[in-house]
Protein backbone atom coordinates (compact mmCIF):
# COMPACT_ATOMS: atom_id res chain seq x y z
CA UNK A 1 0.00 0.00 0.00
CA UNK A 2 1.22 3.48 -0.85
CA UNK A 3 -0.05 6.42 1.15
CA UNK A 4 0.34 10.11 0.45
CA UNK A 5 -0.62 13.15 2.46
CA UNK A 6 -1.79 16.38 0.85
CA UNK A 7 -0.87 19.58 2.63
CA UNK A 8 -2.78 22.70 1.64
CA UNK A 9 -2.23 26.40 2.14
CA UNK A 10 -4.89 28.56 0.53
CA UNK A 11 -5.41 32.19 -0.37
CA UNK A 12 -2.08 33.73 0.56
CA UNK A 13 -2.05 37.28 -0.78
CA UNK A 14 1.15 38.91 -1.97
CA UNK A 15 2.22 41.76 -4.19
CA UNK A 16 4.28 40.70 -7.22
CA UNK A 17 5.65 42.69 -10.12
CA UNK A 18 4.06 40.78 -13.00
CA UNK A 19 2.30 41.36 -16.30
CA UNK A 20 2.85 42.07 -19.97
CA UNK A 21 0.88 45.26 -20.51
CA UNK A 22 2.50 48.64 -19.92
CA UNK A 23 0.13 49.46 -17.06
CA UNK A 24 1.14 46.18 -15.36
CA UNK A 25 4.91 46.57 -15.59
CA UNK A 26 5.38 49.51 -13.22
CA UNK A 27 3.51 48.52 -10.05
CA UNK A 28 3.19 45.19 -8.24
CA UNK A 29 -0.12 43.35 -8.55
CA UNK A 30 -2.02 41.55 -5.83
CA UNK A 31 -1.97 37.79 -6.37
CA UNK A 32 -3.90 35.22 -4.35
CA UNK A 33 -1.91 31.99 -4.18
CA UNK A 34 -2.93 28.51 -3.03
CA UNK A 35 -0.51 25.60 -2.76
CA UNK A 36 -1.26 21.86 -2.63
CA UNK A 37 1.56 19.39 -1.99
CA UNK A 38 1.35 15.59 -2.10
CA UNK A 39 3.90 14.27 0.34
CA UNK A 40 5.37 10.79 0.70
CA UNK A 41 4.01 9.87 4.09
CA UNK A 42 3.76 6.98 6.53
CA UNK A 43 0.80 4.63 6.13
CA UNK A 44 -0.53 5.80 9.51
CA UNK A 45 0.06 8.67 11.90
CA UNK A 46 0.05 7.95 15.62
CA UNK A 47 -0.43 10.29 18.56
CA UNK A 48 3.28 10.36 19.41
CA UNK A 49 4.80 11.02 15.98
CA UNK A 50 7.11 13.95 15.40
CA UNK A 51 6.61 16.77 12.90
CA UNK A 52 9.51 15.39 10.87
CA UNK A 53 7.18 12.52 9.83
CA UNK A 54 5.11 15.12 7.97
CA UNK A 55 5.94 18.63 6.77
CA UNK A 56 5.45 21.98 8.42
CA UNK A 57 2.63 23.92 6.74
CA UNK A 58 4.67 27.07 7.24
CA UNK A 59 7.24 25.72 4.74
CA UNK A 60 4.54 25.99 2.07
CA UNK A 61 3.63 29.50 3.13
CA UNK A 62 7.30 30.48 3.16
CA UNK A 63 7.75 29.13 -0.38
CA UNK A 64 5.01 31.49 -1.55
CA UNK A 65 5.98 34.58 0.42
CA UNK A 66 9.73 34.43 -0.15
CA UNK A 67 10.09 33.22 -3.73
CA UNK A 68 9.61 36.56 -5.50
CA UNK A 69 12.54 38.92 -4.89
CA UNK A 70 11.66 42.60 -4.61
CA UNK A 71 12.11 44.46 -7.89
CA UNK A 72 12.14 41.33 -10.06
CA UNK A 73 9.52 41.45 -12.82
CA UNK A 74 7.82 38.17 -13.74
CA UNK A 75 6.32 38.63 -17.19
CA UNK A 76 3.99 35.66 -16.67
CA UNK A 77 2.32 34.43 -13.49
CA UNK A 78 3.21 30.96 -14.78
CA UNK A 79 6.82 31.80 -13.93
CA UNK A 80 5.77 32.75 -10.40
CA UNK A 81 4.09 29.34 -10.06
CA UNK A 82 7.20 27.56 -11.35
CA UNK A 83 9.43 29.43 -8.90
CA UNK A 84 7.18 28.35 -6.01
CA UNK A 85 7.12 24.74 -7.24
CA UNK A 86 10.93 24.73 -7.59
CA UNK A 87 11.20 25.78 -3.94
CA UNK A 88 8.71 23.11 -2.82
CA UNK A 89 10.65 20.40 -4.67
CA UNK A 90 13.73 21.16 -2.55
CA UNK A 91 12.12 18.63 -0.19
CA UNK A 92 12.60 15.11 -1.60
CA UNK A 93 9.39 13.92 0.07
CA UNK A 94 7.28 16.16 -2.18
CA UNK A 95 5.79 13.94 -4.90
CA UNK A 96 3.50 16.47 -6.56
CA UNK A 97 2.92 20.21 -6.18
CA UNK A 98 0.08 22.34 -7.49
CA UNK A 99 0.08 26.13 -7.37
CA UNK A 100 -3.08 28.11 -8.10
CA UNK A 101 -2.69 31.86 -8.74
CA UNK A 102 -5.55 34.35 -9.02
CA UNK A 103 -4.87 37.84 -10.38
CA UNK A 104 -7.07 39.79 -7.98
CA UNK A 105 -7.11 43.06 -9.96
CA UNK A 106 -8.83 41.50 -12.97
CA UNK A 107 -11.20 39.29 -10.99
CA UNK A 108 -14.65 40.80 -10.45
CA UNK A 109 -17.99 39.68 -9.04
CA UNK A 110 -16.47 36.78 -7.09
CA UNK A 111 -14.80 35.13 -10.08
CA UNK A 112 -11.23 33.86 -9.87
CA UNK A 113 -9.17 34.55 -12.99
CA UNK A 114 -5.73 33.00 -13.10
CA UNK A 115 -3.72 29.84 -13.61
CA UNK A 116 -3.06 26.48 -12.01
CA UNK A 117 0.26 24.71 -12.50
CA UNK A 118 1.09 21.14 -11.41
CA UNK A 119 4.37 19.25 -11.44
CA UNK A 120 5.03 15.66 -10.33
CA UNK A 121 8.24 13.73 -9.80
Q: Give the number of domains in the chain.
A: 1
Write down the pTM of the prediction: 0.88
In which residue ranges of the chain is pLDDT below 70?
1-2, 22, 24
* Nearest alpha-carbon partner for 99 in 46, 74, 109, 51: 74
pLDDT, residue 97, reads: 97
pLDDT, residue 22, reads: 67
CATH number at residue 102: 3.30.1130.10
pLDDT, residue 1, reads: 62
Contact present, 116 and 102 (Cβ < 8 Å): no
Residue 87 lies in domain: 4-120
Amino acid sequence: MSTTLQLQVRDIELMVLTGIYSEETKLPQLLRVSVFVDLDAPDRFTHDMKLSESKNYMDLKDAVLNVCPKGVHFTLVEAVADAIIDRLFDDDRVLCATVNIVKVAISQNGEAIGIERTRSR
